[in-house]
Amino acid sequence: MTVAAADPAAVLRDLLPPEQLLTGDAVRPWGVWGWPPRTVAFPRSTEEAAAVLARASAEGWTVEPAGSGTWLWSGNSASPPDLVLSAARMHRVVEHEPGDLTITVEAGVRLSALDLHLAPHEQWLPLDPPGRCRTLGAVASTGVWGPLGAAWGGPRDLTLGVHAVTGDGRPFQAGGRVVKNVAGFDFVRLLIGSRGTLAFLTEVTLRLYPRPATDRTLVVRGRGLDDLVEGAVAAASQPVTPAAVELLERFLPWEQRWEAVLAVRVLGLEERVRAEEEVIRAVLLRAGAGPVEELPAKEADAFWREVRLLEEDMDLTLRFATLPARIGELVQLARAVGRMRNGRDALARSPVRMAIHGGAGALRMAVPNLRVDSGWAERWAERLEDLRRTVQWRDGSLTVTRAPAAVVERLGAWESPGPAGELMAGLKGVFDPAGILSVDRFVLDLDRHEPA
Amino acid sequence: MVRPRAAGLRLTSEGSVPNPLALPLADELRELVGEEGLITEPSRLLSYESDGLVAYRFPPRAVILPADTAEAAAVLRCLHRHRVPLVPRGAGTGLSGGALAMGDAVLVGTARMDRILSLDPVARLARVQAGVVNDDLTAAARPHGLHYAPDPASQSACTLGGNVAENAGGPHCLKYGVTARWVTGLTFVLPDGRVLELGGWGRDATGYDLVGLVVGSEGCFGLATEIELRLLPLPEGVRTLLAVFEDLESAGTAVTDILASGLLPCALEIMDAEAIRAVEASIFAAGYPTDAGAALVVELDGTEAGLDVEAERAEACCRRAGAREVRRARDERERLALWKGRKKAFGAMGRIAPDLLVQDATVPRTQLPAVLRQITEIVRAQDLKLANVFHGGDGNLHPIILFDRRNPDEVARVEHASKEIMCVCVAAGGTITGEHGVGIDKREHMELVFSPVELELMAAVKAVFDPLGLCNPGKVLPLALCPPRDAHAGPEIDVPAVSAGAGARG
């Protein structure tokens, strides 16, 4: 990447007050894969974001959209951007009409803050994506979801509308505030999961649900994950749809240590929960190696937090997906990753961890302390590539959500979209004609084609 | 924000007689799809002149009916080479004039692509050809204890390909969501004949969600030939209530209370006084009290245990909101009776007026009472008759204006009222269509909800899929922005064949 002639900070001082810009050493925490940008800008409105992007497109600066910055270590590694554009200071609730069960918030509002806002209204947003400090802009932009995704759908199903700015600074809206809308082409679904390559999101409108009156987590322990896989499939294929079916390896609740846990979360009105619980208990009892327990609220919170933070501070994190009924095959394939690590001591001290969203057929894996010896990066990239092919061959997918740069550079975080990549590059050209947004960070085909 | 509209809606537009296909092209197409796959006789083409919105009539030049993806790809490649525009069509039950071939366009229908290719009860996944009828999929799934959730009113006739094009809803999508939620993969033929495999359940998307973008694109991006869909377990039990109110506002309050209480009914359907009286005066009389201001059908489904308690809660919400009577169906016969009035409302209305204009718009739910009041005033000011039957739970309105199309003055007043209704819905934070689509009917309303930048982006996105503007031209986008091809811009010229792109997992 050639360095743009003008210093972004100097130019942006005309557009934003100084307290909304970071330069010098202060930009370090905002590095993309640790490579610091030249400047970080914090617009406070759609208009400010539009002004910055219009200028960036004119100047040819590369721009990495961000929220609180937690995804900057994810995706493909690229050269450092000229500018990180963060929505972190856009954190107002724009509109909340409780009777409509919808809310519009600025993109920098964090999930935790949204939850605090909604609690007094007895409402909630059924989303539990991995990671800390997630902003709603980042959740929409990455499209990620967690255990609740199986029952509620992910951001794709819960986002009703967005305000956004194209790469060349044109503000636009997609979708709206209503739950049913077929006017025009569905840009909301196009933007969800586009990882900042098409537009910078400034506001998000979400569909809400009443906060469940009862929220129960039932668990059984197993000797190992494999013992419980069938139970997870069974729990997810009952006529009742639990809010979440989760398999977790090596859960460490305080002093006791469980090798594997199958947890089912049932929530809603008390009467319904009680009815569904009965069905689920029977399934769990057959699946587990012990009695079915109901986790006390505090422990249940700890459990779901553990799932949410599975990937934190890990060297290599992967996401496998397949049909829910075939999750067992995926577990077997994923085990190969554990075997790739050298040295039994490393394995014992810091085990590979897996969390499986049973109802959705997703498996998240986190590997700490990758051994770094000569040739390790090539070896890992090669093995993961093989594994990806095997998973693809079984109609699944393998995404590298985080890996050392040397590995992900060789492998690519996502598989190639194939012939559809050409259309995607064309779409990229429509929304980001100067090609400045999140360059080389998402599926690589986007930046390899000349826009139509 | 309300922006002025560019051009007027025409409730009665009749196309001129279309040019027949040039013989070499007709022969080439016949070669590809066989004698039974090509319709060119004017008498047979007449049955394709309109869709469910019969006010617009344009007989097509030809109807081409490929039998599978390979034939569809060959047809689209051929049309592309000859620069002949095409319009994808399912069963033609759409309500926005989206499946009409105007000017020099031909129809490409999915009627012969009517096979269910696979149905995996364990994975709860089906793969179908685009011409499979919505109801037929549920019928095939039922023996496995499964069903396909979206249930548009025309489900006994409409095709799943059409559902994909329109992102179809239905009364039960309040709980289960619209088509986009259940479609997980598509075999998609681009206007130049290239075949793409998009999505696939069980795989995380790589790159953009093209399935999500294509669903609801009203056939403007290409032709879906195969669809992968998720199925759901049949609910174990169902409870249906009919609550009768003095006025619409109370019914609206009941809906809001029910949803706020944590219940998620599978349907919350409202009829106003005029709709009730029309039904009761017809052969479809369902025993709704004719002096009522509004009737609300509440349906709850799920596992049997807990349903009774939920039904009691819903009933309590209705009574708190002022229901003067709540009937609960004790069996399937009574349930069907409660639904009968709602389901037959349009048919009943058709008997008291020669023509109906069924509008479709969505507003935030809390705006329903105010918007309904405004709509009543608008229609009254035009001296027209109005009835309301709508999906209360998701704020999806269907005001029905009764008129006679032979009376030009009345038609003009209907058009005026219709436009004003759109403006009112948009001003209340709503949108111009909740489930019927834009088609040709609402393309000039698009400027009410979208800015010039947004419309330009839509036109540019269409051009990514369809650079020559051959696919369903003149639909969805305002004409000024996306004009249909000029019939004299050299159709049927000979252009070298484009190579067929083989499909690969995308």
CB B501 within 8 A of CB B188: no
Cβ of residue A395 closer than 8 Å to a chain B Cβ: yes
The alpha carbon of residue B256 is apart from the nearest alpha carbon of chain A, in Å, by 6
Confidence of residue B170 (pLDDT cuts 50, 70, 90): confident
The alpha carbon of residue B86 is apart from the nearest alpha carbon of chain A, in Å, by 19
C-beta neighbour count of A58 within 10 angstroms:
14
CB A39 within 8 A of CB A12: yes
Phi-psi region of B167 (alpha: psi -120 to 50; beta: other; left: phi over 0): left
pLDDT score recorded for residue B53 = 86
CB A135 within 8 A of CB A68: yes
Tens of pLDDT, residue by residue over A257-286, are 567 899 999 998 888 899 889 989 999 998
Tell me which of A312 and A336 has the higher pLDDT. A312
Cβ of residue A415 closer than 8 Å to a chain B Cβ: yes
pLDDT score recorded for residue B153 = 86
Confidence of residue A225 (pLDDT cuts 50, 70, 90): confident
**Residue in chain A nearest B144 by alpha carbon:** A239
Using the predicted structure, report yes or no on whether residue B404 has a pLDDT greater than 80.
Answer: yes
**Residue in chain A nearest B476 by alpha carbon:** A184
Please judge whether A427 and B205 are an interchain contact, meaning their C-beta atoms are less than 8 angstroms apart. Answer: no
The alpha carbon of residue A18 is apart from the nearest alpha carbon of chain B, in Å, by 30
Mean of pLDDT values over B32-57 = 92
SS3 letters across B7-45: CCCCCCEECCCCCCCCHHHHHHHHHHHCHHHEECCHHHH
CA–CA separation, A98 and B314 (whole Å): 19
Mean of pLDDT values over A13-20 = 96
Confidence of residue B171 (pLDDT cuts 50, 70, 90): confident
Using the predicted structure, report yes or no on whether residue B7 has a pLDDT greater than 70.
Answer: no
CB B212 within 8 A of CB A189: yes
The region of weakest confidence among A291-295, A445-449, B203-207 is A445-449
Confidence of residue B16 (pLDDT cuts 50, 70, 90): low
Give B-chain residues touching A184 at CB under 8 angstroms.
438, 446, 449-450, 454-455, 458, 476
Using the predicted structure, report yes or no on whether residue A411 has a pLDDT greater than 50.
Answer: yes
Furthest-apart CA pair in chain B: how many Å? 72
Nearest to A262 by CA among A311, A207, A327: A327
pLDDT score recorded for residue A124 = 96
pLDDT score recorded for residue A345 = 45
Mean of pLDDT values over A234-248 = 88
Using the predicted structure, report yes or no on whether residue B494 has a pLDDT greater than 80.
Answer: no
The alpha carbon of residue B117 is apart from the nearest alpha carbon of chain A, in Å, by 17
Tens of pLDDT, residue by residue over B134-150, are 999 999 999 999 999 99
Mean of pLDDT values over A314-335 = 90
Sole residue written with tokens 């609180």? A68
CB A449 within 8 A of CB A435: no
Give A-chain residues touching B210 at CB under 8 angstroms.
420, 423-424
Mean pLDDT of all residues belonging to chain A:
90
Give A-chain residues touching B434 at CB under 8 angstroms.
178, 180-182
Mean of pLDDT values over A63-91 = 94
Using the predicted structure, report yes or no on whether residue B187 has a pLDDT greater than 80.
Answer: yes
Percent above pLDDT 70 for chain A? 93
B367-383 burial: b if 16+ Cβ within 10 Å, else e? bbbebbebbbebbeebe
Using the predicted structure, report yes or no on whether residue A350 has a pLDDT greater than 70.
Answer: no
CA–CA separation, A102 and A104 (whole Å): 7
pLDDT score recorded for residue A257 = 59
Q: Return the structure tokens found at B455.
A: 């419309």
Please judge whether B207 and A279 are an interchain contact, meaning their C-beta atoms are less than 8 angstroms apart. Answer: no
Please judge whether A180 and B436 are an interchain contact, meaning their C-beta atoms are less than 8 angstroms apart. Answer: no
Give A-chain residues touching B208 at CB under 8 angstroms.
190, 193-194, 198, 424, 427
Tell me which of B112 and B489 has the higher pLDDT. B112
Within 8 A by CB and 6+ apart from A318, the residues are A334, A337, A364, A365, A367, A384, A398, A399, A400, A401
Tell me which of A197 and A350 has the higher pLDDT. A197
Using the predicted structure, report yes or no on whether residue A255 has a pLDDT greater than 70.
Answer: no
pLDDT score recorded for residue A259 = 79
pLDDT score recorded for residue B501 = 33
Cβ of residue A389 closer than 8 Å to a chain B Cβ: no
Mean of pLDDT values over B275-298 = 92
CA–CA separation, A97 and B368 (whole Å): 13
Percent above pLDDT 90 for chain A? 68
B297-306 burial: b if 16+ Cβ within 10 Å, else e? bbbbbbbebb
pLDDT score recorded for residue B1 = 34
The region of weakest confidence among A247-256, A409-418, B386-395 is A247-256
Please judge whether B505 and A272 are an interchain contact, meaning their C-beta atoms are less than 8 angstroms apart. Answer: no
Q: Return the structure tokens found at B285.
A: 């009389």
SS3 letters across B215-235: CCCCCCCCEEEEEEEECEECC
Mean of pLDDT values over B369-392 = 94
The answer to pTM > 0.90 is yes
pLDDT score recorded for residue B9 = 41
Q: How many residues does chain B have?
A: 506
Using the predicted structure, report yes or no on whether residue B361 has a pLDDT greater than 70.
Answer: yes
Mean of pLDDT values over B285-313 = 92
pLDDT score recorded for residue B23 = 86
Q: How many residues does chain A have?
A: 452
Cβ of residue A1 closer than 8 Å to a chain B Cβ: no
The alpha carbon of residue A273 is apart from the nearest alpha carbon of chain B, in Å, by 8
Using the predicted structure, report yes or no on whether residue B346 has a pLDDT greater than 90.
Answer: no
| Test the B interface: residue of A180, A186, A357, A395 with most B CBs within 10 Å | A180
Tens of pLDDT, residue by residue over A113-128, are 999 999 999 999 999 9
pLDDT score recorded for residue B3 = 34
pLDDT score recorded for residue A451 = 44
Cβ of residue A362 closer than 8 Å to a chain B Cβ: yes
pLDDT score recorded for residue A1 = 45
Sole residue written with tokens 């839509």? B458
pLDDT score recorded for residue A258 = 63
CA–CA separation, B238 and B310 (whole Å): 11
Please judge whether A321 and B198 are an interchain contact, meaning their C-beta atoms are less than 8 angstroms apart. Answer: no
CB B230 within 8 A of CB B262: no
Mean pLDDT of all residues belonging to chain B:
90
Please judge whether B207 and A178 are an interchain contact, meaning their C-beta atoms are less than 8 angstroms apart. Answer: no
